[in-house]
């Protein structure tokens, strides 16, 4: 029997801030901004009200009641709740807490895979006797994190990773959801398809057009129909909807690349739309690598044409970089091949459906020693 836990901390950055400043308890707390590029510093000097620069990284559940969420511009959050406590991102603090939490989790797992700063999969198959025992085991983990770190988390328990991840989000904050062997289909059936990790607004809409809103409908849909629409991804969607996921918990958490992509509402060849899109994706990728403390060597652009043909172009730099201007320059250069029709003859004149920006060949800067590891 395989038993997988997915542990995800509740409103992580803001919960850490509240722990450090208990007077914030029960208040709407918003963490965001504080990523200071040279460009941002100049703008901030002109406009000293820091509250309205940048985006929300996360916010407390009290702030979520006002409709505030991650990635929302801080200016909008400020309008929705001007009395909220606005705090800048204090990454070194959250990283330290994250390391402590991962060290606690490691003791409980046969194998552990950290997926982001505040979440991890644990394979506990040999540690528990049955599903009731797995629940008690997860309660022990929650207790230890609460006692040692004064933080709550939500845990999903299931026979595989994807179902465990969906289960951890099912009850939040401070949740614990167990999906026993053989119960995954039943658990997933009533949930909206966008609860499946990786299903974004575009896929959600395409599925809606096929009359599929709940995971149960996806599970009973003819897999060939899904393949016709989504290619290989259709097969994966169908398996997941049926509660099937064979992927293993991978011990070493090594992020190999980081990317963002966007599908246009309408296919386009408009150079200014394409360039704006690349700029936006570059900023998102940049924020993500900053957040996770990465430096990069390789930048790639991916383009999907209207006929679904996918092409990529990559550029590898001589050394590691972490600056926005370098990323922007490389991405722009690569994009001109597509946007200005300098690419392959047979792609000329085709409209573009999707654009992606990726950084790979990643390194991590060791803050103490200021070197790349
Ligand atoms: P999440 O686990 O997605 O969010 P959360 O822990 O704040 O809230 P939840 O209770 O819903 O799990 O992300 C973990 C941290 O990563 C989050 O605290 C802040 C950071 N983050 C960003 O900086 N930007 C983002 O867009 C997201 C989604 C997260
Ligand atoms: Mg979280």
CB count in 10 Å sphere of residue 47? 9
The answer to whether the beta carbons of residues 185 and 245 sit under 8 Å apart is no
Domain shared by 283 and 351, yes or no: yes
pLDDT of residue 226: 95
- Is 96 inside a domain boundary? yes
In angstroms, what is the span from residue 114 Cα to ligand 2's centroid? 12
Q: Does 11 sit in the ligand 1 pocket, CB within 6 Å?
A: yes
Same domain, 260 and 221: no
* Ligand 2 geometric centre to CA of 12 (Å): 5
Alpha-carbon distance 109 to 102, whole Å?
Answer: 11
* Overall domain count for the chain: 4
Q: What CATH number did the domain enclosing 290 receive?
A: 3.30.1490.100
Q: Give the ligand whose atoms come closest to the C-alpha of residue 71.
A: 1
Which of 59, 89, 119 is a domain's end point? 89
Give the total residue count for the chain.
373
State the burial class of residue 31 (Cβ atoms within 10 Å of its Cβ: 0-12, 13-18, 19+).
buried
Question: Which residues are marked as active site?
Answer: 119
C-beta of residue 14 within 8 angstroms of C-beta of residue 29: yes
* Whether residue 209 is found in the same domain as residue 130: no
Q: Does the Cβ of 70 fall within 6 Å of ligand 1?
A: yes
| Dihedral angle, C-alpha 153, 159, 161, 162, nearest 10 ° | -100
Same domain, 268 and 364: yes
Distance between first and last Cα of the chain: 37
- 12 in ligand 1 pocket by Cβ < 6 Å? yes
CB 238 within 8 A of CB 218: yes
Residue 273 and residue 271: Cα distance in Å, rounded? Answer: 6
Decide which of 45, 71, 89 is a domain's last residue: 89
Which of these three, 200, 218, 241, is where a domain ends?
241
Same domain, 222 and 292: no
Residue 175 lies in a domain: yes
Model-wide pTM > 0.85: no
Same domain for 283 and 361, yes or no, is yes
Residue of the CA atom closest to atom 7 of ligand 1:
11
Q: Are residues 51 and 112 in the same domain?
A: no
Ligand lying nearest the CA atom of residue 34: 1
What is the 217 CA–ligand 2 centroid distance (Å)?
28
Cα of 11 to ligand 2 centre, how many Å? 5
Examine the domain organization and report whether 208 and 170 are in the same domain.
Answer: no
Atom 8 of ligand 1, nearest CA residue:
11
Domain-located, residue 207: yes
| Angle at CA of residue 206, ends 158 and 159, nearest 5° | 10
Quick one: tokens of 168?
A: 């951890």
Pair 110, 175 in one domain: yes
Range of the domain at 30: 13-89
Alpha-carbon torsion angle 336, 342, 348, 350, nearest 10: -10
Asked whether the beta carbons of 59 and 69 are under 8 A apart, the reply is: yes
Same domain for 155 and 232? no
- Asked whether residue 115 is domain-assigned, the answer is yes
- Confirm or reject: Cβ of 71 under 6 Å from ligand 1: yes
Ligand with smallest separation from the Cα of 12:
1
Mutate-to-test residue for ligand 1 from 12, 18, 30, 59, highest number of ligand atoms within 8 A of CB? 12
For residue 36, the model assigns a pLDDT of 46
Which conformational region is residue 227 in: left (phi greater than 0), alpha (psi within -120 to 50 degrees), or beta? alpha
pLDDT tens digit sequence for 25-51: 999 999 998 644 455 555 555 554 544
In which residue ranges of the chain is pLDDT below 50? 35-37, 48, 50-51, 368-370, 373
Tell me the best of 8, 70, 73, 149 to mutate to test the pocket of ligand 1, counting ligand atoms within 8 Å of each CB and taking the most: 70
């Amino acid at each position: 029997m395989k038993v997988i836990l997915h542990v995800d901390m509740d409103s992580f950055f803001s919960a850490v801030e509240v722990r450090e400043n208990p007077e914030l308890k029960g208040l709407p707390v918003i963490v965001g901004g504080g990523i200071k590029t040279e460009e941002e510093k100049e703008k901030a000097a002109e406009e000293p009200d820091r509250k309205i620069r940048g985006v929300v990284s996360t916010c407390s559940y009290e702030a979520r009641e006002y409709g505030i969420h991650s990635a929302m511009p801080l200016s909008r959050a400020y309008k929705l709740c001007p009395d909220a406590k606005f705090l800048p991102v204090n990454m070194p603090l959250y990283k330290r807490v994250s390391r402590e939490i991962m060290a606690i989790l490691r003791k409980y797992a046969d194998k552990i895979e950290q997926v982001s700063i505040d979440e991890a999969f644990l394979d506990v198959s040999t540690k528990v006797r049955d599903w009731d025992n797995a629940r008690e085991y997860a309660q022990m983990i929650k207790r230890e994190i609460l006692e040692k770190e004064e933080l709550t988390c939500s845990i999903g328990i299931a026979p595989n990773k994807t179902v465990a991840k969906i289960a951890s989000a099912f009850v939040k904050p401070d949740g614990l959801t167990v999906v026993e062997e053989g119960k995954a289909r039943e658990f997933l059936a009533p949930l909206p398809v966008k609860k499946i990790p990786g299903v974004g607004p575009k896929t959600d809409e395409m599925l809606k057009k096929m009359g599929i809103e709940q995971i149960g409908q996806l599970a009973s849909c003819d897999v060939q129909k899904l393949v016709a629409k989504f290619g290989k991804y259709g097969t994966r969607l169908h398996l997941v909807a049926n509660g099937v996921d064979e992927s293993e918990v991978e011990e070493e958490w090594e992020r190999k690349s980081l990317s963002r992509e966007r599908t246009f509402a309408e296919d386009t060849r408009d150079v200014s739309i394409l360039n704006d899109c690349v700029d936006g994706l570059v900023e998102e990728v940049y924020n993500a690598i900053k957040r996770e403390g990465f430096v990069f060597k390789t930048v790639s652009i991916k383009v999907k044409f209207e006929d679904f043909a996918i092409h990529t172009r990559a550029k590898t730099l001589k050394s590691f970089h972490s600056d926005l201007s370098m990323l922007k320059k490389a991405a722009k250069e690569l994009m001109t091949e597509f946007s200005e029709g300098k690419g392959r003859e047979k792609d000329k004149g085709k409209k573009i459906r999707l654009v992606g920006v990726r950084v790979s060949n990643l390194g991590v800067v060791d803050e103490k020693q200021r070197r790349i590891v």
